[in-house]
Amino acid sequence: MNKFIEGVAEKFKQFKPTSWAIDNRTAIYIFTIIITLYGVFKFNTLPKEQFPDVVVPTISVTTIYFGNSPNDIENLVTRPLEKQLKGISGAKVKKIQSISQQDYSLIIIEFNTDIKTEVAKQKVKDAIDKAQSDLPNDLTTQPNVQEFDFSEMPIMYVNVSGDYDGITLKKYADKMQDKFEEFPEVNRADIVGAPEREIQINVDPIKMQAAKLSFTDIGNAISYENRDISGGLVEVGDMKRTIRIKGQFKSVLDMQNLVVKNLQGAAVYLKDVAEIVDTVKETESYARLDGKNVVTLNIIKRSGENLIATAEKIKGAIDEMQESGQIPPKDKLKVVVTGDQSKKTATSFHELINTIIIGFVLVLLVLMFFMGVNNAFFVALSVPLSIFVAFMFLPVADFMVGTSVTLNFIVLFALLFGLGIIVDDAIVVIENTHRIFANGKVKIERAAKEAAGEVFIPVFAGTVTTLAPFFPLLMWKGIIGKFMIYLPVMLILTLAASLIVAFIINPVFAVSFMKPEGREYEKPKHEIFKASWFWVFIAFGIILNIAGWHGFGNFLLFIALIAIVERYVLRDIIHFFQERVLPSLMNKYEKLLKWILQGKRPAYALVSLFVLFPISLILLLARGNKMTFFPSGDPNFIYVYLKLPVGTKTATTDSITSILEKRVHKVLENEMPQKGGIVESVITNVAVSANNPRDNNRSTQSNLGRIQVSFVDFEHRHGKHTKPFLDEIRKQMTGIPGAIINVQQEDSGPPTDPPVNIEVSGDNFDEISKIASALLFHLDTNRVNGVEALKMDVDLLNPEISIIIDRDKAMHEG
């Protein structure tokens, strides 16, 4: 009867999944090997990037209507489109912004983040279709609807220079562009600062009139002659041959001898009435590297692709093209990569990985002092195993996030944040197993089963309460929510995975490897060199290092080194801690508890906690700490954005940008690359790629200029800070009338609106423009501390020549 009762009690103490795992240890070991290999595979193949690609359902509508002023564009194009866009139903529109410029209309529609981009795009297209009847019939281009991707920022700049003319450099840049855009990871490669070939036909009006020709005659003659025409098929013996009439011009000479018209048997050649010049178009963009003209390719990767792998492909393609002769070799054509975002990402990525590894080692060392060497190793293994199990649930993470999860800083920070929490479950299970095991007095199988059964409910409850605060973060709305959702998702999956490891894998390890502990059970120190696993770790560590897997190879070698250090150094220290220090600490803690639980002291302790809370808040506020959502440290990049009045010629914008560029060089003159300073490069763009990537308007504008200062990696700065350079450059960017100049560092975190927005609304545009201008002037003259930039989203500097016709005089003059 007693045996029956004991059997029933033992059964109820067990946790069935744990008992099954212990009884089927071989299957669990195979499962562990599989998830380890899968975890390593996923870790190496997951796309790596600095920050998550935030997909915001933002749609742009662009319309071109040549020959119209901004006011006409506003009335004829922008307002009819806005009228229909405001009536979109079935999808919540958060904000609509519009920009009306000379010949150009841009409307940005931002939807709530819970709307899919495809749905938002279709809704906008439907609204545009409804507005077609209200738009002019002679639009230059119909409204173009596109997705607005915040990740479309260059990941690097490929600068091409050498002793060649601009056309030749452009030809080499075109070849590189074609090569780069073949890669599936690359969205596009924009060429900046390259001249374009142009054939000019400068007609002499007097000669044209004498020859009784018109511009239409000349245009038609060139159009009809400059073409290849298919002539069908002709039979040649037993074969059919394709006939093709080739008439495209190959040189200026071909054009000069073009017959435009026959007048009474006399042929009029194009050279008789016009001068044909093979030249280049008026420069539409400029690019300079460290003050010297270059042709630049801005490399933009596709959303969700591996940043580091994409950058390596680009660099490898450049070397391959120069070695294979597709472009001139390095001693003739200089190709310099600057602003490489992958370098900082790779460095920070490896630093964070090293931090995780160091954290794992510290967890292992701390556990050794409290749980012994073997038990500490079982528990520490739960860290990588929990991460690997979490990787198996990545499809669930993809569903929760709404897009494919990448290995970005938020994900890695979540893993680092949960490093100490992951081991909690395993500590309780292994420590309870060790207590019941009692150095061999109870069979290890029974001890492991009973230990898991006893603590499952409290451990499960503790894990759920730890996870509970993170579930509300899944409901975080807006762009910030899209950006930060990776943190709670990965923490929830990793901590849930730690339960599986603690109750399925760790008990199996304990059954196989837990041995009685104490001085009497320890083997001599030199026995470590006779252990087969020790030499296996060393052998595999060396093999993996030779194969290029340095991280895992070094980790195995480090474990072997830890084993030696534990035997010859830590063992005596651990014994001293467990036999002297820990009992002393526990005794003092016991005395403290007895003292605080006497009389009314528990009530006083409880009241003191409630008193300390407001005091701590008061002290925190008294310090006057700045409140920032995403703190920014020393800048890695400094950007100078120049905006001149709309309509400013590209050459004029370039001349003003050159002045600012010289000021920047003067501030950084002792830190330039030629002097071994901390500046990597100074890149200047005018018109193309000159706007702020976070701005809604990304069109090419001749009135924009941008200067980008790139600094070397942090470890190569020799302790120098870059923030003072940002402040000094900001001070120097003044004194240019009519220019709006903004100096800032790279953004940290997701794209957000400015901290303070003041909106002025009304029906009369001229009136609200005056009010907004007056408000801007008032704020600018009474500057508030901490304000870096003041600007309006409406450009009122639109120079326009208005011709007012006197209708009476016009009718009188006929």
- Please, what is the average pLDDT of the chain? 82
708 beta partners: 639, 683
Give the pLDDT band of residue 242 (cuts 50, 70, 90).
confident
Give the pLDDT band of residue 749 (cuts 50, 70, 90).
low
pLDDT for residue 8 is more than 50? no
- pLDDT digit string (tens) for 295-344? 888 888 887 778 888 888 999 999 999 988 888 888 888 888 887 888 77
Q: Give the chain's count of helices (H) and strands (E).
A: 30, 20
Predicted pLDDT at 150:
62
Predicted pLDDT at 546:
85
Predicted pLDDT at 146:
83
- pLDDT digit string (tens) for 30-64? 999 999 888 888 888 888 877 777 777 888 888 98
Which residue from 38, 129, 134 is spatially nearest to 80, judged by alpha carbons?
Answer: 134
pLDDT for residue 69 is more than 60? yes
What are the backbone dihedrals phi and psi of residue 567, each rounded to the nearest 5 degrees, phi first? Answer: -70, -45
Question: In this predicted model, which residue has the larger pLDDT, 88 or 628?
Answer: 88
CATH topology of domain 640-753: Alpha-Beta Plaits (3.30.70)
- 8 Å CB contact between 84 and 452: no
Predicted pLDDT at 12:
46
Tokens of 203: 């007609």
- With pLDDT > 70 as the criterion, what percentage of the chain qualifies? 91
Q: What is the dihedral of CA 113, 118, 119, 124, to 10 degrees?
A: 100
pLDDT for residue 14 is more than 50? yes
- Round to whole Å and give the CA distance between 659 and 677: 22
Q: What average pLDDT does range 636-659 have in this prediction?
A: 87
Which residue from 177, 137, 185, 400 is spatially nearest to 308, judged by alpha carbons?
Answer: 185
Architecture category of domain 198-280 in CATH = 2-Layer Sandwich (3.30)
- Best-predicted range by mean pLDDT among 350-364, 445-459, 476-490, 548-562? 445-459
Q: Does domain 58-147 have CATH number 3.30.70.1430?
A: yes
- pLDDT digit string (tens) for 388-405? 888 888 888 888 887 788
- 8 Å CB contact between 421 and 386: no
Give the pLDDT band of residue 660 (cuts 50, 70, 90).
very high
- Round to whole Å and give the CA distance between 181 and 178: 5
Q: What average pLDDT does range 564-573 have in this prediction?
A: 83
Q: Does domain 156-194+288-338 have CATH number 3.40.1260.10?
A: no
Q: Which of 368-377, 443-452, 565-574, 586-595 has the lowest mean pLDDT?
A: 368-377
pLDDT for residue 786 is more than 70? no
Q: Residue 606: CB partners within 8 Å, gap ≥ 6?
A: none
Which residue from 697, 750, 689, 754 is spatially nearest to 151, judged by alpha carbons?
Answer: 750
Q: Residue 420: CB partners within 8 Å, gap ≥ 6?
A: 359, 363
- Domain segments of the chain: what residues? 1-45+342-519, 58-147, 156-194+288-338, 198-280, 640-753
Tokens of 408: 């970005």
Predicted pLDDT at 147:
80
Predicted pLDDT at 796:
64
- Round to whole Å and give the CA distance between 772 and 759: 9
CB atoms within 10 A of CB 177: 20
Tokens of 421: 């929490």
Predicted pLDDT at 5:
44
Q: At what angle do helices 373-392 and 394-401 cross, to 10 degrees?
A: 50
pLDDT for residue 6 is more than 60? no
pLDDT for residue 633 is more than 80? no
Q: What average pLDDT does range 139-158 have in this prediction?
A: 81
CA dist 265 to 219, 262, 310, 490, Å?
Answer: 21, 6, 64, 85
Question: In this predicted model, which residue has the larger pLDDT, 477 or 144?
Answer: 144
DSSP string for 298-341: EEEEPTTS-HHHHHHHHHHHHHHHHHHTSS--TTTEEEEEES-H
- pLDDT digit string (tens) for 169-194? 888 999 999 999 999 888 888 888 88
Question: In this predicted model, which residue has the larger pLDDT, 515 or 107?
Answer: 107
pLDDT for residue 4 is more than 50? no
Architecture category of domain 1-45+342-519 in CATH = Up-down Bundle (1.20)
- pLDDT digit string (tens) for 192-230? 888 877 888 888 888 888 888 888 888 888 888 788 777
- pLDDT digit string (tens) for 263-272? 776 788 888 8
Question: In this predicted model, which residue has the larger pLDDT, 482 or 389?
Answer: 389
- pLDDT digit string (tens) for 80-138? 898 888 888 878 888 888 888 778 888 888 888 778 888 888 889 999 988 888 888 88
Is it true that 58-147 and 156-194+288-338 share their CATH fold?
A: yes
Tokens of 257: 């001898």
Predicted pLDDT at 30:
92
